[in-house]
Amino acid sequence: MTTSDPILPLTLTSLSMFSAERYNNLPNIEYANNELKKRTNFNEFLEKVFAITLESKIELGLRLIHKHISLKDDKAMIEKYTEFNNKPALITSADFVDEKTYPASWLLNKDKTLSVFEYSRDLHVIRTLNKVVKDPLPFRNICQLIRQYHFESLLAPCVHARDAMVHFDKEQVFVERTYSNLFASVIQNETSDTANSYINTLYGAPITADCIERQSCNYDDDEEQHMTTYWHEEVDSPHPNPDTP
């Protein structure tokens, strides 16, 4: 199921349509990263998206579109805050959608409709969704830019702020690791020197203190820019489940 054209008025219901089949057809992260590297107009595009979000002061960013696992049993990829190895973590894994899960990113389909990419249980997400419903123009403009620059298969508009950020050290970067035996991805703080070779999977301007933010030289401009950044690495899990310390 998908939503109506994002140019039309948006509602919480229309932003909540999900297709496991759509998700299961997404590329792996290496393919997505390699394709994005080929786009010479990416920095120009990113600057325009940041201008929209900074002007409107809304916590919307972009996620690199990729699949972690294949979904089944009507489950979706849902993010929650917890601890992993005695450190704060945002863990995304397959689970059932309920009244406490909120759409946090969206896929733009060829017919100009939307499908949820991933969900979150963080309350900041629903507050941002309410802002989008009240004033949908920034979200619509980001979607239009994605289509104009032909990034529909590579980048998903997303909410990139979380109440859970109070538990993290924003002086460090946020590293995302996929634990194949857990069927989950885990985001935690690490020092910047450990993340230099990883794949950038999220971009967003520093709208509020709840945004995931670091200074980065990945964005080439005359002035140094702040970018919200996840990095991604695949590893084997040291524990049988993500809640085990």
Residue 105's Cα: distance from chain center in Å? Answer: 6
Contacts of 114 (CB under 8 A, 6+ apart): 2, 3, 6, 14, 15, 17, 106, 107, 108, 143
Per-residue pLDDT of 63-117, as tens digits, reads: 999 998 889 989 999 999 999 989 999 999 999 999 999 999 999 988 878 999 9
What is residue 2's predicted lDDT score, i.e. its pLDDT? 47
At residue 197 the predicted structure's pLDDT band, cuts being 50, 70 and 90, is: low
Residue 156's Cα: distance from chain center in Å? Answer: 7
At residue 198 the predicted structure's pLDDT band, cuts being 50, 70 and 90, is: confident
Report the C-alpha gap between 129 and 157 in whole angstroms: 12
High-pLDDT (> 70) share of the chain, %? 79
Mean pLDDT, the chain, integer: 81
